């Protein structure tokens, strides 16, 4: 066992985040797929032997829980039942992960996260310290959404985004999204039998977004579009991303080593956001929004200026000074995200800076 010392950060050269999707972590009948978990555990042990630490983000609590209590009935859709079912499935899932890592003599620790842990800066930093301490103790963190109390995450969230946010929190080198497909393909293979694997992506654009399809399994909340969105969050944070198949030999090692045909690799942006600006841009849901005129939009995007009150034409939401808000263009398009310096109810009385450029991230090309 590694002796504990105070640790508040993780290095960016020896840490990756691996996410295993619901369709990969469970069998067709909803039970936990112990073979996949065992393969991931072996890969984590292999990477740790190389000096690479791994944080595992897992899905599957709701599916595993429903397999336990649903008696073969159709999966429910209402959030309250899903919350209750996740409370049943989470210990089943965690016990399966514990057993898988026991096979390679590694301890695990459960970390349940909710939107609050990312939207509030203090909680964000606390999550970083906790994950760093687990890493330093030699414990493999097993991260999942706190579905039992965070109904918004069940209805709107997904663990692809969670994995990218965790990678941002800890300053990981890359995030590997293990799924039930070979990676991002040139077309939907259900419609085009000639679809081929896209092995490397240097920039995520609208054409690429159109290629991404929906989940084929029907058991997860993500899908390829979700993974592409997560890859964007990661690459803008300076973190490489890989979409890779889970049910292959050495799935995590193959993706990490970039073996030919082992998935789709997304190159991180050279002009990576700082940790603070990545938090502003991606970590939480905005508390409101403002719409700006053409002049202000040009000043923000082209000239990298602060947003002044004179450029704001409308404000919505219940935000207060210090909250993250969306900055929309004249036609309602998302231009940027930043920290408001004024309360929404007082916005018309402000005569100075609305969002300072140091607290602003332009997202127009994101």
Look at strands 15-20 and 174-179 and give their pairing. parallel
What is the CA 83 to chain-centroid distance, rounded? 20
Most confidently predicted of 91-100, 226-235, 265-274 = 91-100
The pLDDT tens digits of the residues spanning 39-90 come to 999 999 999 999 999 999 999 999 999 999 998 899 888 888 988 999 999 9
Domain ranges, ordered by start, for the chain: 15-275, 286-362
Q: How far are the Cα atoms of 32, 79, 119, 208 from residue 211, in angstroms, in the given order?
A: 30, 30, 30, 5
For all residues of the chain together, what is the average pLDDT?
Answer: 86
Question: How far is the C-alpha of 323 from the C-alpha of 337, rounded, in Å?
Answer: 10
Over residues 240-258, mean pLDDT: 94
Q: At what angle do helices 79-102 and 34-49 cross, to 10 degrees?
A: 50
Measured from the Cβ of residue 51, the count of other Cβ atoms closer than 10 Å reads: 8
Confidence grade of residue 224 (pLDDT, cut at 50, 70, 90):
confident
CATH number 3.40.50.1820 is the correct assignment for the domain at 286-362: no
Over residues 306-331, mean pLDDT: 94
Q: Compare 355 and 272 and report the one with higher pLDDT.
A: 355
For the chain, the C-alpha Rg in angstroms (whole number) is: 21
Question: How far is the C-alpha of 186 from the C-alpha of 271, rounded, in Å?
Answer: 27
Q: Specify the CATH architecture of the domain 15-275.
A: 3-Layer(aba) Sandwich (3.40)
Question: How far is the C-alpha of 44 from the C-alpha of 135, rounded, in Å?
Answer: 13
Give the helix/strand (H/E) hosting 175. strand 174-179
């Amino acid at each position: 066992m590694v002796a504990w010392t105070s640790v508040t950060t993780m290095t960016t050269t020896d840490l990756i985040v691996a996410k295993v999707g619901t369709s990969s972590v469970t069998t067709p009948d909803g039970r936990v797929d112990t073979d996949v978990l065992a393969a991931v555990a072996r890969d984590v042990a292999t990477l740790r032997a190389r000096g690479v630490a791994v944080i595992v983000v897992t899905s599957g609590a709701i599916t595993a829980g429903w397999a336990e209590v649903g008696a073969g009935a159709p999966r429910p859709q209402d959030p309250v039942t899903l919350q209750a079912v996740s409370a049943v499935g989470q210990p089943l899932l965690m016990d399966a992960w514990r057993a898988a890592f026991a096979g390679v003599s590694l301890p695990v620790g459960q970390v349940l996260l909710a939107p609050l842990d990312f939207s509030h800066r203090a909680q964000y930093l606390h999550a970083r310290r906790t994950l760093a301490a687990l890493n330093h103790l030699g414990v493999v963190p097993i991260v999942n959404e706190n579905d039992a109390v965070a109904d918004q995450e069940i209805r709107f969230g997904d663990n692809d985004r969670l994995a990218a946010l965790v990678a941002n929190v800890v300053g990981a080198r890359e995030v590997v999204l293990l799924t039930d497909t070979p990676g991002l393909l040139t077309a939907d293979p259900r419609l085009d039998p000639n679809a081929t694997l896209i092995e490397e992506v240097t920039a995520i654009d609208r054409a690429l977004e159109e290629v991404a399809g929906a989940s084929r399994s029907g058991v997860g909340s993500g899908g390829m579009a979700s993974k592409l969105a997560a890859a964007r969050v990661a690459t803008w944070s300076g973190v490489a991303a890989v979409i890779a198949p889970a049910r292959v030999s050495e799935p995590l090692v193959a993706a990490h080593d970039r073996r030919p045909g082992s998935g789709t690799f997304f190159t991180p942006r050279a002009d990576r956001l700082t940790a603070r600006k990545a938090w502003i841009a991606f970590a939480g849901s905005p508390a409101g929004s403002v719409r700006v005129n053409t002049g202000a939009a040009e000043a923000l995007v082209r000239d990298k200026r602060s947003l002044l009150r004179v450029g704001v034409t409308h404000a919505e939401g219940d935000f207060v000074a210090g909250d993250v808000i969306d900055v929309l263009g004249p036609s309602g398009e998302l231009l940027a995200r930043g920290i408001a310096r004024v309360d929404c109810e007082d916005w018309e009385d402000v005569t100075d800076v609305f969002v300072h450029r140091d607290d602003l991230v332009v997202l127009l090309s994101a």
